[in-house]
Amino acid sequence: MMQNLDGQTLLIVGSTGIGGATARLAAHAGAQVFVVSRTEDNCRALAAEIEESGGQAKYFVADQTDAAQVEAAVSECSRVFGRIDALFNVAGISGRKFGDGPLHQVTEEGWDTTLDTNAKGMFFFCRAALNSMLQQSVGENGLRGTILNMASVLALSPERNYFGTHAYAASKGAIIGMSRSMAAYYAPHKIRVNVIAPSLVRTPMSKRAQENTEILELMKTKQPLVEDMIEAVDVARAALFLLSPESRVITGDTLVVDAGWSLS
């Protein structure tokens, strides 16, 4: 069922992969979409595509590891659209090229870069959005706002042979813990916080895996529902439900979207 997001403003951090797919679906469902990314070309192209299709979209270029830039992005979204009904924190990195890997091999740069981008960057956006949402009136759906944070199945169901990146797993586990604590604290303020935890999805970040024939062979049994990588739009559909008023009584949850990964 297509979500009805008429009149809702969604701030999406990430302009490709799952973020881009969610922005397109949200705009098609009637939402005003505000896209934030550090890559202007991607932001501009996505916003233009949405507007050419009849949707409403604006963008802002910001580095999620820079608190001042994050504050500016969130302020601009509030200024342009009047309020922020939902924040979807999608953007993140694999720290492998910086030195992530099995813990005894993880470099200090690998640890710091991965945690700063994935966990600290999400903290910056959550903090800024919460300060905005707390000042908003309660909407027609009974809420001030909704936050959905991106984790990973690797925080819950590790795979040692090809995905032994322990700084990445730590960053995603931290997101789950932070989000549940946020959900408990902000529920009386009518703000929801949930997590979505996909497994291996076909996105720009998974390019290494897409080119590895052994990983692709593993997916035939590791993700048995699709026998392949998951498509970004499939995760986006699940995310849109958690961002929409249809899920207004769900908070503190982690939705695993893994095509059977954690059961295989």
Catalytic residues: 168
Angle, in degrees to the nearest 10, between helices 67-81 and 121-133:
40
Q: Residue 96 class from Cβ within 10 Å (0-12 exposed, 13-18 middle, 19+ buried)?
A: middle
Residue that is written with structure tokens 């049994």 in the block = 221
* Closest alpha carbon to 4 in 253, 248, 251, 252: 248
How far from 134 is each of 21, 88, 141, 176, CA to CA, in Å? Answer: 28, 17, 16, 22
Alpha-carbon span 5 to 8, nearest angstrom = 5
Residue 226 three-state SS: coil
What are the structure tokens assigned to 142, written together?
């009974």
Residue (of 120, 102, 110) closest to 158 by Cα position:
102
- Cα–Cα distance measured from residue 17 to residue 10, given in angstroms and rounded to the nearest whole number: 17
Q: Report the Cα 200 to chain-centroid distance in Å.
A: 14
